[in-house]
Amino acid sequence: MKPAGFYCHRYVLAANEARAAKAAFERVRANLDRQMGWFRDGLATVALEAEEIATAPMHKLLKPDNRGHTFYGED
């Protein structure tokens, strides 16, 4: 299956929403590249967007980084 997109979430420490989105996007890109090599090998491009940004309790930062992604195809 060629995915049309994916959903994931990340907890990051940031001064504001713009920095939080940037930090989360960097983590997601790095993780996808480590797992699949798509960007390194030039097999995929991605346009990331944040659907929701919210303040989370500080203890969430102590949890291991969620490296999962839920991929979905075209409707």
Q: What is the DSSP string of 17-30?
A: HHHHHHHHHHHHHH
The answer to whether the predicted template modeling score (pTM) of the entire model surpasses 0.85 is no
pLDDT of residue 75: 65
Residue 35 pLDDT greater than 90, yes or no: no
Half-sphere exposure of 63 (CA within 13 A, CB side): 12
Report the alpha-carbon distance of residue 10 to residue 8 in Å, rounded: 7
pLDDT tens-digit map of 3-34: 777 888 888 999 999 999 999 999 888 888 88
20-41 burial: b if 16+ Cβ within 10 Å, else e: bbeebbebbeebbeeeeeeeee
Backbone angles phi, psi at 5, to 5 degrees: 180, -175
pLDDT tens-digit map of 51-72: 899 998 989 888 887 777 777 7
